Amino acid sequence: MTLDWAASVNDDKPSPRLEFVKKFMSVLTQDELGRLKKMVMNKRRGVAKSEKAKKLRPNVASGAAPSSLDAVNSPEVATPLTNMPWWERYKETDIIAFDTEHVTKPNNSTGPFKQHVATLDVVDIRNQPIYSTKVHHQSGTFKDDFIWKTLTGMNRNSFSNPTFPSEETVRRKMEDLMQNKLVVTVGGQSDYDALGLEIADFDYFDLQSHWYYEKVNEHGSLVRHSHSLRSLSNYYLHRDPQTGIHTSLNDAIATMDLFEVYKKIKLLDDPQNLSQRHNFNRPYNEIPVLPNPIKEIVKAKKKKPRSQFN
């Protein structure tokens, strides 16, 4: 049987799509069904917001403006719109960005290793902090090597304060905080994983789905790669949030600032598809790819001369 997913069906006839979904649901576990229910609820809210926006705003004549860095930095983008920008479905108070810093457990060489949330910062669309915390981790239970210390400025005792909330407390707090919100991240999958949350349970938008570059691999194939927060911040914001000590607050603020840039870029580069979040056609190869700070730390350590007493 071949399923034509895009085929239209009369209201009085059974939908092949729904029949497929029923069969698919029959093999899901109770936990998976719960997650699917959340995904459906998020989708329904998005559709409802979109329909409401269409009623409030009429279409106007189409047009497109060339993309440029100068235009992105300008206060106004005079681009005639053919459809409603998807982000305008949300109230400003319903848009947040967050970032985490991690610790790696267990503290041994055998693994398997998993990253756990250690610091967390959430900001609103004005970059005002909504929630900021360190997370309790007992000293000696996580890796505290040279790279981690240099990157975060933390040490093995930085999270041992018993007044810090537990991972479970922070997880529940974030679950409540992200309900009915548009959650903006850059490379956010690792942040959700560190929190022990499923990214699909929330209404998320990751800026890496828009900003990517293409590179030919060793087999001669053109492969897409996501631009990092560091590369995007240096190019569009003219600052590096990951110079020196790396903090989740700096990264959360940079993420929200880049979301504002994204809105201008979307208007410039893709005015015909403003109702769609993601970018499938426009690589940003002009953005310089900056190295991961970890690689720079390792490189600097290798170059550092050894003491004659070592």
Q: Is the Cβ–Cβ distance between 236 and 254 less than 8 Å?
A: no
Mean pLDDT, all residues of the chain: 82
φ/ψ region of 174 (left if φ > 0, alpha if ψ in -120 to 50, else beta) reads alpha
Query: Is the bond preceding residue 283 a cis peptide, omega within 30 degrees?
Result: no
Q: Is the Cβ–Cβ distance between 135 and 159 less than 8 Å?
A: yes
CATH topology of domain 33-303: Nucleotidyltransferase; domain 5 (3.30.420)
pLDDT range class, residue 52, cuts 50, 70, 90: low
Dist CA 132 CA 220 (whole Å): 45
pLDDT in tens, 256-289: 999 999 999 999 988 888 999 988 789 999 999 9
Q: What's the confidence (pLDDT) of residue 66? A: 47
Highest average pLDDT, of 49-53, 95-99, 270-274, comes from: 95-99
Q: Above 50 in pLDDT, residue 99?
A: yes
Q: Above 90 in pLDDT, residue 88?
A: yes
Q: Calculate what percentage of the chain has a pLDDT beyond 90.
A: 52
Q: What's the confidence (pLDDT) of residue 41? A: 66
Once rounded to an integer, what is the mean pLDDT over residues 48-61?
50
Burial of 241 (0-12, 13-18, 19+ CB in 10 A): buried
Q: What's the confidence (pLDDT) of residue 239? A: 93
pTM assigned to the model = 0.74
pLDDT: which is higher, 60 or 230: 230
Domain coordinates of the chain in residue numbers? 33-303
**Residue 215 main-chain phi, psi, to 5 deg:** -145, 140
pLDDT: which is higher, 263 or 81: 263
pLDDT in tens, 142-170: 999 888 888 888 999 999 999 999 999 99
* Cα→Cα distances 33→19, 40, 219, 302, Å: 16, 10, 40, 50
